[in-house]
Amino acid sequence: MKISIFIFLLFLLIGCDKPSKKNNVQGVLGEESSKVEIKQTEIFADPDFTEGIYLTGWTVASKKFQTILDSASEAGINTVVFDVKNMDGDIFVNYPQIEPLSRENIKPIIDINDVADALHARNMKAVARIVMFHDQYVAKIDSTLRPQKVDSTAWRESKRRKASWLDSSHPKVQQRLQDLVQYVCKNGVDEIQLDYIRFPTGGKLSAAKFYFQKEDSLLSVSDSLYVFRNKEDIIVDFIKGLQLICKDYGVKLTADVFAIVAWQRAVDVSNTGQNIRRITQVLDAIHPMLYSSHFNSNFGHRENIENEPYYITYQATKLAQKHSECKVIPYIQAFGYRVNYNEEYILSQIEAVRNVHADGYILWNSSSNYWRALRWIRDSKK
């Protein structure tokens, strides 16, 4: 009798199906997990000293991408920043979440995972650049998302140029960007870099009325103790929300800052909303965009400021470090506009970054043309 019971129980154990790993995953993630491919990607650690380049989405999708990576690798580049969304509003990935009205700006020419894999194979960090509130496409198709004037018409920075700026405080604008950041976080990048994470600075700013100002005015009517917000409050709170998203995926979050903001003059902080002390409490690094060609003549009482790249890079980086509570990795100029662009010009900027003990640098060229710069950097290390 005992033997019969034993054989019966043994039969039951053998006959039961063991749950597969796939079933276990679906049980944890829910039914949707069977429809969505989830890729586990190892996040690269930050290099001790960042040496980076920026590439447009068009460049990454072109045949010269691998050739650029070859040259970059030879020069010791360890970080590549590439566009996911640019200032025109183009989105370079097959992003499904955006509403049908806006799908004309979807240019699905790159696969984020493939780009990240290509960079990781070369021991390079993969950084996705997402332009925030400068978006010519959305500004054109939906003027209600732009800053408004007193007469309720849409504000624009200049009558001679295309409308470019969205209202940085508008909930719909912010939600669209949060959704895009979350989508990118799921696709294998090590870091997300926010650009144009500020309010506009050009045009008749006094005529621009923002969503948060209207909202605060209404709230103050019912609450006499209500504390009005300013632009830096909006920027800090928005970044905090993005930080929470990035943390969920183990992705670093950094931001570009307007060059002049490194000086932290009250007028510049007030206009842009970029208070370095406050935003660096919720960022892993900031990237002051330090191009000597963009400074006005006689800035700092220098007679030839555009051709003093060491001075600009050193002074602005040092000031940014003074106010910052995170890493400072400046963008440096790798193009010839208004300057004597040569080997000395590039290397003097890098020397300034090293001498001020910054955490690295990133080369900026809007056309992704780095052949000379990479050769000069490579040769300087021999």
Residue 297, sorted as left (phi over 0), alpha (psi -120 to 50) or beta, turns out to be beta
Residue 117, pLDDT > 50, answer yes
**Mean predicted lDDT score pLDDT of the chain:** 88
Degrees, nearest 5: CA angle 37-39-45: 160
141 and 6 inside one domain: no
Query: Which residue in this structure is represented by tokens 């969205």?
Result: 166
Task: State residue 129 phi and psi, 5-degree precision.
Answer: -90, 130
Q: Give the model's confidence band at 293: pLDDT under 50 very low, under 70 low, under 90 confident, else very high.
A: confident
Q: What is the pTM of this model?
A: 0.88
Q: By mean pLDDT, which of 34-43, 295-304, 338-347 is the weakest?
A: 34-43
Range of the domain at 27: 1-38
Q: How far apart are the first and last CA of the chain?
A: 85
Give me the CATH number covering residue 317.
Answer: 3.20.20.80
pLDDT classification of 298: cutoffs 50, 70, 90: low
Q: Work out the percent of the chain whose per-residue pLDDT is above 90.
A: 78
pLDDT of amino acid 23: 31
Same domain, yes or no: 8 and 111: no
Q: Are residues 31 and 85 in the same domain?
A: no
CA distance 334 to 351: 14
Q: Indicate the range of 10-14, 44-48, 206-210, 334-338 predicted with least confidence.
A: 10-14
For residue 85, the 8-state DSSP code is E
- On whether the CB atoms of residues 286 and 328 are closer than 8 A, the answer is yes
Which helix (H) or strand (E) element contains residue 262? Answer: none
Query: Would you state the pLDDT for residue 44?
Result: 78
Instruction: Classify residue 160 by burial, with Cβ atoms within 10 Å: 0-12, 13-18, 19+.
Output: exposed
Number of domains in the chain: 2
The answer to whether residues 162 and 13 belong to one domain is no
> 50 with 76: CB under 8 angstroms?
no
Instruction: Identify whether residues 341 and 269 lie together within a single domain.
Output: yes
pLDDT value at 28 more than 60: no
Same-domain status, 97 and 202: yes
**CA-to-CA distance for 200 and 240, rounded, in angstroms?**
20
**Would you say how long the chain is, in residues?**
382
In a shared domain, residues 178 and 243: yes
pLDDT interval class at 300 (50, 70, 90): low
Q: Are residues 298 and 193 in the same domain?
A: yes
| 221 and 82 within one domain | yes
Pairing type for strands 125-131 and 79-85 reads parallel
Does residue 326 register a pLDDT over 80?
Answer: yes
Same domain, 300 and 241: yes
Q: What percent of the chain has pLDDT over 70?
A: 88
Of the candidates 37, 44, 146, the residue with the CA atom closest to the CA atom of residue 89:
146
**pLDDT tens digits, one per residue of 30-85:** 333 333 343 444 667 889 999 999 999 999 999 999 999 999 999 999 999 999 99
Q: Residue 268 has what pLDDT?
A: 95
Say if residue 32 is in the same domain as residue 126: no
Q: How confident is the model at residue 25 (pLDDT cuts 50, 70, 90)?
A: very low
6 and 141 both lie in a single domain: no
Distance of CA 293 to the CA centre of its chain: 23
